[in-house]
Structure 1
Amino acid sequence: MQSPFESILHTNHIPTEEQCKAIEDFLEFPEKQLVEVDSKITEVDLQLRELQNKRDSLEWVASPLRRAVKAHRAIISLARRLPDDVYREIFPYCLPTESYATPNPLDAPIVLTHVCRRWRHIAHSTPRLWSRLHMDPLAIPEYDEDSDAPTFPTREWIQRAAAVPFSLSFHSASPYFPPVSAVRELIEGLALSSTTPRWNNFAISLPSADVLKILALPYLQGATTNPFWNAQSVVVAMQRLADFSLNHSVDPHPLVAILAKLDLKRNKQLRELTFVHNGYDRNLLHDFTPFLPCLQLEMLDLQDPNYTSRSYSMASLPPPMAYEILKCCRNLVVFKMDACQFEPSLDEIPPERYGMDRLKELSISLYDLNEVTDIAWFSNFDFPALTCLHLRSRSMNGPGSQSGTLAHVLKQVRHNLTSLVLDPGYLEQKHLIKILRALPSLVQLHLKSAYFANDFEESMEEEYKEVAKWTDEVLKCLTPQDDQDRPHACPRLQYLKWQYNTCFTEAELLKFLYQRSSHPSSLVPLKQVRIDFGRLRTNHWWELECRELVEAGLDLRVTYLDPEVDPIYFEEKNLFYRTEQSTEEEARVELPIIEKSGYLDFGWE
Structure 2
Amino acid sequence: MASLFAPHLGTNYCPTDEEASHIKSFLVEPGLRLRRLDDKIAELQNELDKLAAERESLVVYIDGHKALISPLRRLPLDIVQEIFLACIPTHRNCVMSASEAPVLLGRVCSSWRAIALSTPRLWSRLHIVEPQRVYGSDLTLCEAKAAQRFAATKTWLSRSGNCPLSISLLCRPGETQFAVTMPSATPLFLQALIPFAARWQHIDFTLSPAAVYSILPLMESDVPLLQSVKLQYDNPFTPHRVDLGNFRMLRGSRISSFCGVGNEIVGESLPLQWHQLTLLEMTTAGPWQTSLTSERVLEILRQCAELRTCKVSVNDRLETMIPSLPHVEVKSLHTLELHCEVLESTVSRLLHRLSLPELRNFTLSGHVHFTQDPPSLASCFASWSRLESVDISSDSFAKYSLLTSLQSLPDTVRQLKIRDTADRSLPGAVPLTTALDDSALAILTPTDGLPPQCPNLESLDLEACIAISDEAILRFIVGRMSDPSGTRLKRVNVDLNRLMTLDILPSIQPFIDAGLDVSIAHFAPYKVQFSPWQGLADAPWDPESPTPWRYAA
Is TM-score (shorter-chain normalized) higher than 0.5? yes
Q: Which residue of 2 is the match for residue 189 of structure 1?
A: 192
Matched, 1:205 2:206: yes
C-alpha deviation, 1:582, in angstroms: 8.7
Q: Which residue of 1 is the match for residue 447 of structure 2?
A: 481
C-alpha deviation, 1:415, in angstroms: 3.3
**Alpha-carbon distance change, 354 to 468 in structure 1, aligned in 2, over 3 angstroms:** closer
C-alpha deviation, 1:240, in angstroms: 8.1
C-alpha deviation, 1:80, in angstroms: 5.5
**Alpha-carbon distance change, 214 to 449 in structure 1, aligned in 2, over 3 angstroms:** same
- Structure 1: distance between partners of 2:435 and 2:195: 60
Q: Which residue of 2 is the match for residue 570 of structure 1?
A: none
Q: Which residue of 2 is the match for residue 288 of structure 1?
A: 269
Q: Which residue of 1 is the match for residue 409 of structure 2?
A: 439
- Give the match's secondary structure for 1:393: strand
User: Which ranges of structure 1 fall in alignment gaps of 5 or more residues?
Assistant: 1-42, 245-253, 568-578, 592-605
- Give the match's secondary structure for 1:237: strand
Q: Which residue of 1 is the match for residue 282 of structure 2?
A: 302
> 1:388-467 counterparts in 2 under 5 A?
388-394=361-367, 404-407=374-377, 410=380, 413-425=383-395, 431-440=401-410, 441-450=412-421, 457-458=428-429, 460-461=430-431, 463-464=432-433, 467=434
Q: Which residue of 1 is the match for residue 327 of structure 2?
A: 353
> 1:74-473 counterparts in 2 under 5 A?
76=66, 81-82=71-72, 83=75, 87-92=80-85, 94-96=87-89, 98-139=91-132, 144=143, 151-162=150-161, 164-172=163-171, 182-190=185-193, 198-216=199-217, 220=218, 223=221, 226-227=222-223, 230-238=225-233, 255-256=242-243, 258-265=244-251, 267-279=252-264, 288-289=269-270, 291-304=271-284, 307=285, 313-315=288-290, 317-345=292-320, 347-367=321-341, 369=343, 371-373=344-346, 376-394=349-367, 404-407=374-377, 410=380, 413-425=383-395, 431-440=401-410, 441-450=412-421, 457-458=428-429, 460-461=430-431, 463-464=432-433, 467-468=434-435, 470-471=437-438, 473=439
Q: Any idea what the Cα deviations from partners look like across 1:42-72, whole Å, max 9, x if unmatched?
A: x9xx999976884367436524633652564
- Percent sequence identity over aligned pairs: 22
- Structure 1: distance between partners of 2:458 and 2:38: 60
- Structure 1: distance between partners of 2:154 and 2:220: 18
Amino acid at match of 1:386: L
**Alpha-carbon distance change, 66 to 544 in structure 1, aligned in 2, over 3 angstroms:** farther
C-alpha deviation, 1:470, in angstroms: 3.5
Amino acid at match of 1:262: R
Amino acid at match of 2:171: S
- Structure 2: distance between partners of 1:328 and 1:419: 26
Amino acid at match of 1:332: L
- Give the match's secondary structure for 1:151: helix
- Give the match's secondary structure for 1:405: coil
- Structure 2: distance between partners of 1:75 and 1:404: 79
**TM-align CA RMSD:** 4.8
C-alpha deviation, 1:205, in angstroms: 2.7
Amino acid at match of 1:81: P
Is the Cα contact below 8 Å between 2:130 and 2:146 reproduced in 1? no
Is the Cα contact below 8 Å between 1:303 and 1:316 reproduced in 2? no
- Structure 1: distance between partners of 2:442 and 2:239: 56
TM-score, structure 1 as length reference? 0.66
Is the Cα contact below 8 Å between 2:174 and 2:208 reproduced in 1? no
Q: Which residue of 1 is the match for residue 519 of structure 2?
A: 558
Is the Cα contact below 8 Å between 1:420 and 1:442 reproduced in 2? yes
C-alpha deviation, 1:278, in angstroms: 0.6
**Alpha-carbon distance change, 581 to 188 in structure 1, aligned in 2, over 3 angstroms:** same
**Alpha-carbon distance change, 106 to 394 in structure 1, aligned in 2, over 3 angstroms:** farther
> 1:571-590 counterparts in 2 under 5 A?
none
Is the Cα contact below 8 Å between 2:524 and 2:549 reproduced in 1? no
**Alpha-carbon distance change, 86 to 407 in structure 1, aligned in 2, over 3 angstroms:** same
Is the Cα contact below 8 Å between 2:229 and 2:255 reproduced in 1? yes
- Structure 2: distance between partners of 1:455 and 1:73: 66
C-alpha deviation, 1:154, in angstroms: 3.2
- Give the match's secondary structure for 1:327: helix
TM-score, structure 2 as length reference? 0.71
Is the Cα contact below 8 Å between 2:229 and 2:259 reproduced in 1? yes
Matched, 1:497 2:492: no
- Structure 2: distance between partners of 1:87 and 1:536: 57
Q: Which residue of 2 is the match for residue 549 of structure 1?
A: 514
Q: Which residue of 2 is the match for residue 66 of structure 1?
A: 56
Is the Cα contact below 8 Å between 1:356 and 1:382 reproduced in 2? yes
User: Which ranges of structure 2 fall in alignment gaps of 5 or more residues?
Assistant: 1-32, 134-139, 529-537
Is the Cα contact below 8 Å between 1:449 and 1:500 reproduced in 2? yes
Q: How many residues align?
A: 486
